[in-house]
Amino acid sequence: MNYKRKISTSYTEANSYIKGLYNPTISNIEADNAFLDILSNTSINTHVDRISFHCSSEIKEPEKRLFRALKDHGYSCKEDNLVEHGNFKRRGLYTHREKNIKIAVFYQHKDSCPPYIPDLRIIVDDPDIISIHWLDTICNSFGFTTTLSYVELSIDFSPFSDFLKDYLCRNLVLKYYRGTSRKEYESFYIGNKHKNSKSLIIYCKKIVGDILRLELRFNRYFLKSAGVELSCLEKVNSIDLSNIISFKHLNREKLINHLIWRHKSMLSMPYQDDRELIRQLRELSNISNIVTDQIHYMKKQTDINNSNRFFEDIPEANLAFYERLKNARYI
């Protein structure tokens, strides 16, 4: 293909010609309005789905004291198995006889376990604040030192909507995250719970009928900065989501105008090679429609400075979303 223009054109003419080939106008108004309509007619339930904390103790076999306390407090041992992966040899699984609470206790270090690993790792699924306060009190009474290391906050939308899932995946951004998204089976991930201080996952959850779940995952670094500990887990209710997530669009027209401006001297002269501009515009036309991936792509473009200016908040979507969750309680 010949990328050289044989006639001289004005910058304005070249601008119009390029935009005719690579129309940057992608209207998001209909999608945004549909999101607002669905959100207003959707039931939202918030809760803590899982927490994890570690215990350090000076006593020998501290798990035995904890197991006795669990049995005395309405929990039954369902499993006690060897663990293949990780730093611990065994895992005891306890479920409450009346509540839907599960407590997994990892204990007994493997020979390869580093010396700095605490004596116990405890995972609690579907906790309530009473059970957490009880666990904290029991651990303190045994002289355990506890460290909250992980929390999952769940935001459940019902009924399930394919459109709502697609909109969240495309437009929801985890602030200050510069990696890519990934999809595994039917779940959509931004960030990695093992590597990033905060991450999220969007997926269909089957409970009583299908619901759409947005799950926010926080590790020790974030929890410590937010002042959240096992003794005051209710502080998760005060986490400001507007500092963590937001809805954004890529302003493609603004970006293409910038690329054309960068090549304006070339565009206004005859017999100039348009190859580089055409390449950039073709890449832009093939870019993912997921904003997280667009941000990652733009950060890698050395000839585009301050790429954040091309990503704009969606005010109506953010306002409606934050308003629905303004008084939400997770535990």
pLDDT one digit per residue (tens) for the chain, 331 residues: 444 444 444 555 555 555 555 444 446 888 999 999 999 999 999 999 999 999 999 999 999 999 999 999 999 999 999 999 999 999 999 999 999 999 999 999 999 999 999 999 999 999 999 999 999 999 999 999 999 999 999 999 999 999 999 999 999 999 999 888 999 989 999 999 999 999 999 999 987 678 999 999 999 999 999 999 999 999 999 999 999 999 999 888 788 778 777 766 665 555 455 666 667 767 766 777 899 998 888 888 777 788 889 999 999 999 999 999 999 999 9
Peptide bond just before 118 cis, omega within 30 deg = no
pLDDT at 35: 96
Segment 152-173, tens digit of pLDDT = 999 999 999 999 999 999 999 9
Q: What value, to the nearest 5°, has the Cα angle with vertex 252 and ends 246 and 256?
A: 145
Q: What value, to the nearest 5°, has the Cα angle with vertex 200 and ends 195 and 203?
A: 130
Give CA 49 to chain center in angstroms.
15
Backbone angles phi, psi at 281, to 5 degrees: -70, -35
Segment 193-242, tens digit of pLDDT = 999 999 999 999 987 678 999 999 999 999 999 999 999 999 999 999 99
Assigned token pair, 80: 């006690």
Q: Is 169 helix (H, G, I), strand (E, B) or coil?
A: helix
pLDDT at 272: 53
